[in-house]
Amino acid sequence: MKKTMLFILIISLLPYSLAIGQQEQAEEKPDPMKNFSLVDETQPVTEKLKVGFESITGNDAVTYLKFISDDLLEGRDTASDGYDIAALYAATMFELWGIKPAGDMERPRMDFRRMMMQGGKPPAQGKRGYFQNITFLETLGSEGQATVTWQKGLMKKKKSFSSEMDYTYMASGTQSITAPVVFVGYGIQESSLKFDEYKNIDVKGKFVMMLSEAPGKGDPESPFNKGELKEKYYPERRPMMRRRRSTSPKFKVPTDMGAEAVLLIENSPEENGDVPRQYLNAQRINDERPIYPGTRRRISFVDNIGRSMFGDSIPTIRISRKMANDILGMLDQNVESLKEKIEETITSHSMVLSGVTLTVENKTETKLVNSMNVLGYIEGSDPELKNEAVVIGAHLDHLGRRGDYIFNGADDDGSGSVGVMEIAEAFAKNPVKPKRSIVFALWTGEEKGLLGSRYYVAHPFIEKTAANLNLDMISREYDKETLARMSRRFGVEVGKEVLEKIDAKKFVSFSFDANTPAIDEIMRKNNNHVGLHLRITGSKEATGGSDHAPFGQAKIPWAFFIAAMTEDYHQPSDSVDKVSPELMEKIIRLAYLAAFDLADK
Ligand SMILES: [Zn+2]
């Protein structure tokens, strides 16, 4: 009897437990719209922001853009006349709108006749200007060679290598490095696998030879291809733009350990081409694209002090597989067998190459050149908080010209630059000012390695930066095809049902500092006044390879707007006739509203 009762009880409870299970499953299923803010019906902005908001128009933005992306400015290369004209143009507009200068104090002109008339008193301190001047080093040409020696007692071996064939090294000055060599496998420290290739190895003052990537490439069974480790070492979706070397642990660890330089071996030369092939590829004629004569100008910070001040990593020398084997061969080792052992055992096979010394010599012809960030500001209305600033920035420089080819850079990043100008005008015209101050910044040197924004982070106009808003490439619309492609290629998992809801023409990727969730709320709230279809991505690291990265590295909350990445990216075809005034207007207006909230909260 008892058994029957129990059986009846279980049968009668079954539907409930099934229902509960289903409910939990429904609860767990992530909301596909979680990272989107798709707004079509907009609400009017509050009265206090209206004047500024309405002063922002796509037509004005395109008018300014026509000027700075004109052939006359020859692609605004860093430290070129074209860039200087664009900078002067922006500074003039700032002055016109009553935006205060936030650049360097101008050096007073030494007028001896006037000085004598004033009894020899030197003229008063000059007034502040809109330019933050930076002296850079331009490398005009370089040649180099490397020599490895092995000595044990009287026995000696020696081999020489030439730059651009056996190795490539973008040295920023004449220098020579002589040091012992250590091999550290992939140079990985992965505590979850108890795998530390630096354990018991002293790399201080030495060359650190390592393979790129990680063990287990293409091997689904490898722990590096599973779960979180896969996302870390072999992410499905490559980030939008390359990550800066200085923040990648691969280069940060040897830098922090005081190594001299990294000797980087291509992990999969068959896929990416070894040093010689990369060199030849660069020479190969590409039918789809014109051959651009000459090479890009190499501009960097003046000296290695720059490296420590701006958190640069130690030099990286890309060496060919053959050069690596010639060096390891001095001790009867080679890359293939060491790699195999590491892959099989996931244990360290790092070693100091005893008796081996490598010398890398580089002669470079250099000269000093000047460029400038363009900086203006409005003062905050709060007596305390005005000593903090929200920095709104975009890079004004682009790739310049190569022979007859001018890289106008209308989208990259002429669009962001005129965006910053429009927002400056809006804040100048809007009667109500936020509590914190706002700095409007046009960076130089972005294409050369984020030089201008990195310089500003080390030399801020207002000591405390509360947040950074970065606009880079905000003028090109997606279409259905590019949107679908973007969702596959650029780290955006967009399900079919979501894709159907998105209006490609209004689609923009917005990423922000996940350590400051308030930015997400501010963006969603203000998008109700603008009507974009936003993809909102929080990230703990300032990925994306643009000018918000130095702020993120300095632990300053950041946010980054970018619209469609097109075939014209870094091509002479990136011209003003292709931009969308409608899209620009919306993005610039949203950035204005968000900046106000960030500065007023
Ligand atoms: Zn750019």
> pLDDT at position 572, please?
94
CA of 569 to the centre of ligand 1 (A): 9
Band (pLDDT 50/70/90 cuts) for residue 26 is low
- Report the 10 Å Cβ neighbour count for 46: 12
Band (pLDDT 50/70/90 cuts) for residue 305 is very low
> pLDDT at position 185, please?
97
Band (pLDDT 50/70/90 cuts) for residue 308 is very low
Band (pLDDT 50/70/90 cuts) for residue 281 is low
E runs forming strands in 48-174: 100-101, 131-152, 155-162, 167-168
CA of 412 to the centre of ligand 1 (A): 5
Share of the chain above pLDDT 90, in %: 66
Query: CA 58, CA 474: separation in Å to the nearest integer?
Result: 12
Q: Cα dihedral sign for 528, 530, 535, 536?
A: negative
> pLDDT at position 370, please?
97
CA of 551 to the centre of ligand 1 (A): 16
Q: Cα dihedral sign for 453, 455, 458, 463?
A: negative
Band (pLDDT 50/70/90 cuts) for residue 61 is very high
Does pLDDT of 284 surpass 60?
no
Structure tokens at 504: 């490609």
Residue 412 or 404, more confident: 412
Band (pLDDT 50/70/90 cuts) for residue 309 is very low
Residue 304 or 121, more confident: 121
E runs forming strands in 350-429: 351-378, 388-395, 401-402, 405-406
E runs forming strands in 379-498: 388-395, 401-402, 405-406, 437-443, 464-471
Q: Are 217 and 519 in contact (CB under 8 A)?
A: no
Does pLDDT of 243 surpass 60?
no
Q: What residue type is 162 in one-letter code?
A: S
CA of 1 to the centre of ligand 1 (A): 79
Give the chain's mean pLDDT. Answer: 88
Peptide bond into 413 cis (omega under 30): yes
Query: CA 214, CA 190: separation in Å to the nearest integer?
Result: 11
Does pLDDT of 337 surpass 60?
yes
> pLDDT at position 552, please?
95
User: What is the average pLDDT across 226-249?
Assistant: 68
CA of 579 to the centre of ligand 1 (A): 15
CA of 395 to the centre of ligand 1 (A): 7
Residues 6+ apart with CB under 8 A from 4: none
* Cα pseudo-dihedral 525, 531, 537, 540, rounded to 10: -50
pLDDT tens per residue across span 559-591: 999 999 899 999 999 999 999 999 999 999 999
Residue 497 or 276, more confident: 497
Residues 6+ apart with CB under 8 A from 101: 91, 94, 95, 127, 128, 129, 130, 375, 376
> pLDDT at position 107, please?
65
CA of 437 to the centre of ligand 1 (A): 26
Helix axes 581-600, 416-429, angle to 10 degrees: 50
Band (pLDDT 50/70/90 cuts) for residue 544 is confident
- Ion ligand 1: residues, Cβ under 5 Å: 412-413, 472
pLDDT tens per residue across span 467-503: 999 999 999 999 988 888 777 655 545 677 888 889 9
**Percentage helix, strand, coil for the chain under 3-state DSSP, each rounded to 5:** 40, 25, 35
**Complete domains list, the chain, with CATH:** 36-105+369-600 (3.40.630.10), 138-365 (no CATH)
CA of 392 to the centre of ligand 1 (A): 15
Band (pLDDT 50/70/90 cuts) for residue 108 is low
Q: Whose CA is closest to 444, among 369, 519, 388?
A: 369
CA of 233 to the centre of ligand 1 (A): 26
CA of 534 to the centre of ligand 1 (A): 20
CA of 545 to the centre of ligand 1 (A): 9
Residues 6+ apart with CB under 8 A from 199: 348, 350
Residues 6+ apart with CB under 8 A from 159: 147, 148, 326, 327
CA of 407 to the centre of ligand 1 (A): 12
CA of 586 to the centre of ligand 1 (A): 19
Does pLDDT of 265 surpass 50?
yes
pLDDT tens per residue across span 496-542: 788 888 999 999 999 999 999 999 999 999 999 999 999 999 988 78
pLDDT tens per residue across span 39-55: 999 999 999 999 999 99
Q: What is the pTM of this model?
A: 0.80
Q: Whose CA is closest to 253, among 352, 184, 310?
A: 184
Band (pLDDT 50/70/90 cuts) for residue 87 is very high
Q: Are 159 and 358 in contact (CB under 8 A)?
A: no
Query: CA 556, CA 209: separation in Å to the nearest integer?
Result: 34
pLDDT tens per residue across span 120-165: 666 555 789 999 999 999 988 778 899 999 988 888 999 999 988 8
pLDDT tens per residue across span 342-368: 999 999 999 999 999 999 998 888 899
> pLDDT at position 151, please?
87
